[in-house]
Structure 1
């Protein structure tokens, strides 16, 4: 054993020899001493961070990581091809399908996987030396972390961009903020409002290590919490007497404008090549949900509900795992136009120069356009009805075909773009196709913002609106609009409003034997149900004339989502509630109490205090029986369990976190529609008059709509003719010279700074 006496003897010996050989450098002496000490201690001791890893070891690990990741990607792709060929597809593969990164996002994900796997390999190499716990950050210097960042390819992807003068947004969100060009940009890490909480402080999710105590208690299995807290008989569901299914559907629509955390494409472990479908192993990138005793559906406890970790993000000079958002964080209609240049280009009608979006060239919806079909070779939509042979639709967000209501929204907004382009071309014949496209895109973005902030958010936030989302004042370039990691999880509160059926109604808002209500799990990726069964009009009528499910503390999530998610694709239906909890842990999100503290709310410490917060003693007791302490309650579970605020559909904590995101995405957006430089007063007034009702009237064959589609409306009492819904007046855009009159090769010519002070009110300048 190495003790103090042996250390003194060794040190004296080194001093003696140093004097004999006349070493001039004390640094050399200390270095020799360190080597001798390490040799004396042996390889089982804890590394103290003084001696760096050799750079050759780091480069070798980086090369090995690339080989492992590439092999896992290929192995997964080959397996998926074979399963698609045989039709033997599993539910979690379908869920992963619409979370797959595409275009440049896939390159970002691959580089991040290279970086994360390199860190894992280095940690494993050092485990043979250290027996006590350590973090990889204790070993690597900042320069070495930077080396890994560069070798993985992350650095090249995040090179600074030169911002040009343009009155239009970039598709990636870059340069929206001229001072901080990366604010709100796609393919960047989520924003952290609180520090991450991982088991190892770096990347291991809480709940990963069996029987490990957190705040003095073992975290319950996510599926067990779902069974005890989330589950209820669907026959007892309460409908919302004041909100329609359209209200629920807008929530999903706007969520798909904000964020998407892609899963890594690999379905087998990087280091050991384990197939997670077979083993239920907890090995990176697999974090499956174990089955609790006496589960009401899954009897085989050795089975599991698969979950794959969200892709890591490239982060410079830090080994702490962050997740990637492949969308822009602005309300900019990116789900219509895409969040990368490549997707945006592919979505346009490139066969002419008229500024139009591409539409389907095989089918029409009673003469109106459908979305174009995707060209992916791996397509799950074809499996839902092999006789139809219809692939998934193609849109700015990959989740477009997830369910018919979402598809209907995508469809009418693309139609609205093309309708606006047609009107603008008539008003301004001299405008180029590029200007027509960009002006229509700018208008669609503004309409989306108006509906979200003025018509929808107050109905969600209720009495808290003025506090958590005060009225717009001005653009602030110090505000970071980036989507927060916690928002990406808690905005899934919309799951609690989903009914177990998709309703289709024919003219006169009548039911039909040909279009009966369909259980939700039978509609996922059913392109054919849209094209072959009446188009989008019956779906839109069903959304307008039916009520949303009301989230109650004893009726949180319907079993269509909790037991049958993607069950259509054989094997084991997924549990969306349990997946939400597991995802929060996987993302390193702190627990319920920490977020209550962040929002300035009380932090309950026992059953009594929790019962006061929830206004529900029985629910508080159930939660404590599961978690042991309020501090461990998963953020999604705690947030959706709170009582609803007055006139709203969320609790106090959700109102705070959602309001925070909405405010930052608005106030930090240089192109927000209420900013005086973006539109003329007449144009802003025209945008303010647009409603979702009008968009439906202009882009479908529906002739009767409610004045406010988000309310629970009864036909015919609450419906009016489309003639009574104010039309969208585009005349204020006629002969607009500030943007279109200064165009050369589809780019806006910047004004000279010398004349800038004189045209603040006349010119639309980008500053």
Structure 2
């Protein structure tokens, strides 16, 4: 009997590529606060260190005064950022893009606030904050803490309260007291009986970063990563029962760090700044300063605020909404009950993968532009105004000066910033000249470049920061893990992480691209996808699955299923039972995963295929590739045949 050789599931317990033993002698050598990473400058990148600058500080007195002559922050918000309709990301990226971006942000930067106020005046008659036209309303704003040795005779600088490195500090904390409060004697992260993050005395979630409960999407990802740590402890302990809790913790942590780094650099960043924007890793360089740049933390990496939608989907496994429905974004802040009382993190994670994010642009939904943390007059704030004021508080260079500081050409007209004539005109009306624009505002106004989400300025700043974070980290996972284990763990995707740590079920391979979720029942179903990207799940029974146009994923699951991807480049997974994979003319470049001996590939509907001679067979590293006349290709992932064995699989 023909027995195709198929690679193991990418959700294997030790990650993609099988179950080799873990070299437990390799354990995390990181200090909890980041000190000692650079052996020459032991405080470099540690918690409490001073942020660096890419350009010169811009204070009116050269020390710390905010320029009172700039346009009012709330006026800019109302004029330029008021979003009246949905503007989806043109690449089709999912809500996971901003959610993972926020998770990484909370791993590398936290700027503490001080006591000095610089409240934002609200224009008289503001429809949300001053509808009666008093002209006396202000939005509370507290300036950031001033770094030691600055702000008196030299320009004030800002503090990074957590470790600079991508080291999982959002899970483990950046100080020993926090770490000890989160980790038990067995080396595991403390979770409740339902596998959820514990709550403190105020009812908020406890994690390595104080902002873990900021919104339900972030809390859900925090929970996934805590479970991932415990999963590694379980697996390592099973192979090494004599290890202590501290040893298990350190062995698990170094691998969790690798997972966070892998998802960030393999999936997240290529979508954010372009597929080849960040050079390949060549090793640690002790002369590189990984410190967070103020321009990165205060401007470029705040792109995600414009990608938020007014609500977050909460979905059942079949793609239907849970009974409670979507959660309004304004209700998603610091609200763990919205998770624990509505099916846990699974519905939220499914929703993040199914909803297309808003575009990174100068439009921000009112849920954070007027209702952040409450209604106007009842604690509500404007995130846009806060971002603009924070840039001024931190003395950011203006847009044009920052462009010049990072090696880009200065612009000389507003229409050089954006191809949108309306946005250019509003910028000109607000600022008057191109040398006065706030960096965060100008950066968001730019057209996206290099197939990414960000414009030229923000992409340049982000590429610089993430290159330094990697190359200036002596304990980077690719430097400390063995090559084989590093390669294996670096094959982990966000979908892998979620599938093996939750009951979400199947997610699309690329969680960062939105796929509409179409699920079947326990019986026989006919499921048809849309013109976009679909994740079609047969469930039980003998199902008929059609992807339609777009790049789709079809999973037959149980039963004798028929799968037809349609146009586009599709992934077809039959699942359990003998399945039929149907192809028609111009079907694209498709892949079949897990082809079994009872499965068949039906090419009978393709007029140009009259015999097996019309199918050219090529062996590749991914598996056998069937080149079907001029119609498309079918890659049989991880499967090898002898040439004379293929005929039994084809129906022509």
Query: Which protein has the bigger strand share?
Result: 2
1:704 — aligned with what?
506
2:188 is the counterpart of 1:356: yes
2:137 is the counterpart of 1:303: yes
Report the CA distance shift for 1:565/1:167 in structure 2 as closer, same or farther (over 3 A). Answer: closer
C-alpha offsets along residues 716-743 of structure 1, whole Å, 9 cap, x if unaligned? 43356699799xxxxxxxxxxxxxxxxx
CA distance in 1, matches of 2:211, 2:354: 25
8 A Cα contact 1:599 1:656, kept in partner: yes
2:102 is the counterpart of 1:252: yes
2:200 — aligned with what?
374
State how 1:348-427 maps to structure 2 within 5 Å.
348-349=183-184, 353-360=185-192, 364-365=193-194, 369-375=195-201, 379=202, 391-427=203-239
1:471 — aligned with what?
280
CA distance in 1, matches of 2:440, 2:181: 36
2:418 is the counterpart of 1:557: no
2:295 — aligned with what?
486
1:205 — aligned with what?
66
2:373 is the counterpart of 1:566: yes
Question: Among residues 465, 483, 487, which one is paired with 1:681 in the alignment?
Answer: 483
SS of the residue 2:143 aligns to: coil
SS of the residue 1:715 aligns to: strand
State how 1:33-432 maps to structure 2 within 5 Å.
168-207=29-68, 218-233=69-84, 235-238=85-88, 240=90, 242-264=92-114, 266=115, 285-299=116-130, 300-315=134-149, 319-349=154-184, 353-360=185-192, 364-365=193-194, 369-375=195-201, 379=202, 391-432=203-244
State how 1:712-723 maps to structure 2 within 5 Å.
712-716=514-518, 717-718=534-535, 719=553
Question: Among residues 576, 589, 611, which one is paired with 2:415 in the alignment?
Answer: 611
CA distance in 1, matches of 2:28, 2:350: 37
Measured after TM superposition, the shift of residue 519 of structure 1 is 1.5
TM-score by length of structure 2 reads 0.73
Report the CA distance shift for 1:406/1:667 in structure 2 as closer, same or farther (over 3 A). Answer: same
Measured after TM superposition, the shift of residue 263 of structure 1 is 1.3
How much is the aligned-residue C-alpha RMSD, in angstroms? Answer: 2.2
Query: Which protein has the bigger helix share?
Result: 1
CA distance in 2, matches of 1:535, 1:167: 31
CA distance in 2, matches of 1:635, 1:319: 22
C-alpha offsets along residues 121-161 of structure 1, whole Å, 9 cap, x if unaligned? xxxxxxxxxxxxxxxxxxxxxxxxxxxxxxxxxxxxxxxxx
SS of the residue 1:250 aligns to: helix
C-alpha offsets along residues 300-341 of structure 1, whole Å, 9 cap, x if unaligned? 320111111111122379553211111111111110111111
CA distance in 2, matches of 1:536, 1:457: 24
CA distance in 2, matches of 1:670, 1:598: 27
| Structure with larger Rg | 1
8 A Cα contact 2:28 2:250, kept in partner: no
Measured after TM superposition, the shift of residue 524 of structure 1 is 1.1
1:52 — aligned with what?
none
Structure 2, unmatched stretches of 5+, are 1-25, 519-533, 536-552, 558-572, 576-592, 594-652
CA distance in 1, matches of 2:86, 2:329: 17
C-alpha offsets along residues 365-411 of structure 1, whole Å, 9 cap, x if unaligned? 3xxx1111124xxx3xxxxxxxxxxx001000111111100000111
CA distance in 2, matches of 1:167, 1:392: 29
8 A Cα contact 2:304 2:360, kept in partner: no
1:659 — aligned with what?
463
8 A Cα contact 2:370 2:376, kept in partner: no
8 A Cα contact 2:28 2:254, kept in partner: no
CA distance in 1, matches of 2:556, 2:31: 35
8 A Cα contact 1:189 1:315, kept in partner: no
CA distance in 2, matches of 1:236, 1:546: 12
8 A Cα contact 1:694 1:722, kept in partner: no
CA distance in 2, matches of 1:181, 1:720: 51
Measured after TM superposition, the shift of residue 627 of structure 1 is 1.3
